[in-house]
Amino acid sequence: MATFQVTAALLHSAVRKSSLVEQANMKIELLPALSDNYMYLLIDTDTREAAIVDPVEPIKVVEAVRKHGVKLTTVLTTHHHWDHAGGNEKMVKLMPNLKVYGADDRVDAITKKIPDSHSFKIGSLHIKCFHTPCHTTGHVCYYVTKENSTEPPAVFTGDTLFVAGCGKFFEGTAEQMYRALIEILGSLPPETRVYCGHEYTVSNLKFARHVEPDNEVIRKKLAWAKEKCDNGEPTIPSTLADELTFNPFMRVKEKSVQDHVKQTSPVETMRSLRKEKDSFRVPKE
């Protein structure tokens, strides 16, 4: 299972801490927000240009931008829900001339509605947008690479893919989530680092353990995640390779997962898993 060099200059908030993932090609600061959200400051190390993903607490974003001494040019909105897009209006008032990207007219302060597979640059970083409708009809994931870099790519998945879980199907179907997780995100390089919208890892892994009680990878990951959360530290990023070993929603082709829900079709397995997860009572331990 992959491990990451995460700067231990963990900045204390009330309970949860932010952290900085440093690569030669980019830096990503994880900024905790609300009770369990994450905002992400994406920095191009070559040009010092930056983007912010889902800035629901704009004051924290401005502080991080000033601390790093970067030029914030872009807001990347994954979907319109208030806990992701609700800070956009204030963000553009605090820092005028920001471009606000999204794939849904319901995104606050949107300046550019991006089509599927649309690409653009943040400094020297290449951003590709993948439409992943299901949680909302206008959900988008942002995939970040750099030309000629040997460093892992990053993908900001909002409420489509979580560590060990996926978002609720508020405006979509099992077929759509299957396409999003298996056909779109699942086709990206396995080393791609996953930056999701919420800190749901412990509860997600408890459900994963319920689905696959004999999966030792899940048990080890859960113990690790509990320790991280007890220390106020993030369990993000994950990798796509790791998700394939413990995330039941990315393991819908596995017999052990299909047997749990008594299905043989991956899509029907996805549907049954989500229905069960929606009413799953997380055990207290």
What percentage of the chain exceeds 70 in pLDDT? 95
Q: In this predicted model, what pLDDT tens digit does every residue of 178-207 receive, in sequence order?
A: 999 999 999 999 999 999 999 999 999 999
Cβ within 8 Å of residue 62, ≥6 positions away: 94, 95
For the chain, the structural domain boundaries read 6-278
Nearest Cα residue to 29 out of 15, 38, 40, 37? 40
Task: Say if residues 63 and 85 touch (Cβ distance below 8 Å).
Answer: no
Average pLDDT score over residue span 203-218: 98
State residue 276 phi and psi, 5-degree precision. -70, -40
d(CA 216, CA 212): 9
**Residue recorded with tokens 């699942």:** 186
User: What is the separation of C-alpha 129 from the centre of its chain, rounded to a whole number of angstroms?
Assistant: 14
SS3 68: helix
Answer whether 30's CB lies under 8 Å from 19's CB. yes
pLDDT at 63: 98
Q: Which of 258, 259, 276 is nearest to 267 (CA)?
A: 258
CA 200 from centroid of its chain's CA atoms: 11
Instruction: Give catalytic residues, as residue numbers.
Output: 79, 81, 83-84, 135, 159, 198
Residue 208 confidence (pLDDT) above 70: yes
Asked whether residue 2 carries a pLDDT value surpassing 70, the answer given is no
Which CATH superfamily includes the segment(s) 6-278?
Ribonuclease Z/Hydroxyacylglutathione hydrolase-like (3.60.15.10)
29, pLDDT greater than 90: yes
Residue 234 tokens read as: 């993030």
Reading the block at residue 123, the tokens are 């400094």
- Supply the pTM of this predicted model: 0.94
Average pLDDT, the chain: 95
**Euclidean distance between CA atoms 83 and 81, whole angstroms:** 6
Span 117-133, pLDDT tens digits:
999 999 999 999 999 99
pLDDT tens-digit map of 41-73: 999 999 999 999 999 999 999 999 999 999 999
pLDDT value at 4 more than 50: no
β-pair type (71-76, 99-102): parallel
Q: Is the pLDDT of residue 158 over 60?
A: yes
d(CA 259, CA 274): 15
CA distances from 233 to 21, 30, 37, 229 (A): 13, 10, 13, 5
Q: Is the pLDDT of residue 167 over 90?
A: yes
Helix ranges (H only) for 15-173 are 58-68, 82-85, 88-94
